[in-house]
Amino acid sequence: AAVGKRVLDTGWLAARSTEVSLTGEKLTTTDPPAADPDPTAPWMHAAVPGTVLGTLLKNKLIPDPFYGLNNESIIDIAKSGREHYTFWFFTTFHCAPAGHQHVSLNFRGINYSAEVYLNGHKEVLPKGMFRRHTLDITDVLHPDGKNLLAVLVHPPDHPGAIPPQGGQGGDHEIGKDVATQYVEGWDWICPIRDRNTGIWDEVSISVTGPVKITDPYLVSTFYDDFKRSYLHCTLQLENTSSWLSDCTLKIQVSAEIEGNICLV
C-alpha cells in the first residue's frame, strides 16, 4: 500500500440505531448492509463527514430546516430521546499493507462519542467533540484487503431542551458537555434538532512504515529587523515496530515564486 493518507468520504451508509438489530460485530463480518440499499431498508446513503440531519436531508427524510418553518416539523432530540439520533455509519475500504507497514484509522471530529467496529473488532472513541482519534488497525485488517467499518455515533450526553420562549442556548444543558453550544438555538439560529451529532469531520486511513511523524510544530523567529529568520521544528517520531529503527529525517522548504517557478 502506498505510504500516505487516504480520506474515506465516499460509499458511506447510515441507519438509525433503533432500526438495526444486528451488532457491530455482525455488521462488520457476516451481515454487512447491501452497498446499494433498497428504499425500504433502514440503511441509506450517508454524508460523511457530516451530521445525522445532513444525511436525513440528503435522503429527503426531513425538509430543509433552514427554509420557512420547516424546523418545527423535525422532532427535537429533547422530545425524541437520544436514541432517535443515535446512528450507525458504515463503509468498506481496501487496504493491503506490506509486512513492515502500519495502518492507522483517523477521525478528526466525532460529536459526541462512538463505538468503532472493524472486521468484527470493537474500539470505543471517548467523548468530546473537539478531539482527534487515531486507532492502529494494522493487526485487524483483512488479508484479502477488503475491510468492513461500522461506527455507532451517540449524541452529546446533555442535549438539553428548548424552552417555549427559546433564548440563547435553550436551557443551557449543552454547556455541561465539551461541544458546540449554538445547537440549542440562539437569537440568530433555530435549535439544531440532532445537536450536530455525527462524524462531523474528516475520516482517513494512514499507511506508514515502522516510524511515523506526529504533530510537527513550526515556529519562525526573527532578528535584525526581519532580515534574519530561523525556522524551528519540533516533532514526534513514533516507532511502532519492535526493533530499533535507524532513520533519515529530511526537511525541505520551498516557495512558489511566480507561476510555476519553484525556489528550493
User: Which amino acid is residue 27, in one-letter code?
Assistant: L
User: Which amino acid is residue 149, in one-letter code?
Assistant: L
Q: How many CB atoms lie within 10 A of CB 25?
A: 15
For another protein, the closer CB: 147 or 196: 196
Listed in sequence order, the residues at least 6 apart from 115 whose beta carbon sits closer than 8 Å to its beta carbon are 24, 122, 123, 124, 125, 151, 152
Q: Please tell me the total number of residues recorded for the chain in this structure.
A: 264
Window contacting another protein (CB under 8 A); options: 30-38, 47-55, 82-90, 135-143:
47-55
Question: How many whole angstroms separate alpha carbon 100 and alpha carbon 141?
Answer: 14
Instruction: Report the site for another protein in 77-106 (rule: CB under 8 A).
Output: 100
Question: How many whole angstroms separate alpha carbon 242 and alpha carbon 85?
Answer: 43
Window contacting another protein (CB under 8 A); options: 34-42, 87-95, 115-123, 200-208:
200-208
212 is a contact residue toward another protein (CB under 8 A): yes
211 φ/ψ angles, rounded to the nearest 5 degrees: -115, 130
201 is a contact residue toward another protein (CB under 8 A): yes
**Applying CB under 8 A, which of residues 4, 11, 68, 145 lies at the interface with another protein?**
4
Instruction: Report the site for another protein in 216-255 (rule: CB under 8 A).
Output: 216-255
Q: How far is the CB of 118 from another protein (least distance, A)?
A: 21
For another protein, the closer CB: 123 or 173: 173
Question: How many whole angstroms separate alpha carbon 233 and alpha carbon 235?
Answer: 7
Window contacting another protein (CB under 8 A); options: 16-24, 38-46, 51-59, 140-148:
51-59
Sheet of 13-16, strand order: 44-45, 13-16, 87-94, 146-154, 113-118, 121-125
Q: Find where cell 529587523 sits.
A: 225
Window contacting another protein (CB under 8 A); options: 20-28, 37-45, 145-153, 171-179:
171-179
34 is a contact residue toward another protein (CB under 8 A): no
- Cell numbers found for residue 224: 535584525
User: Which amino acid is residue 130, in one-letter code?
Assistant: F
Instruction: Report the site for another protein in 111-170 (rule: CB under 8 A).
Output: 127-132, 168-169
The count of residues interacting with another protein (CB under 8 A) is 92
Q: How far is the CB of 24 from another protein (least distance, A)?
A: 24
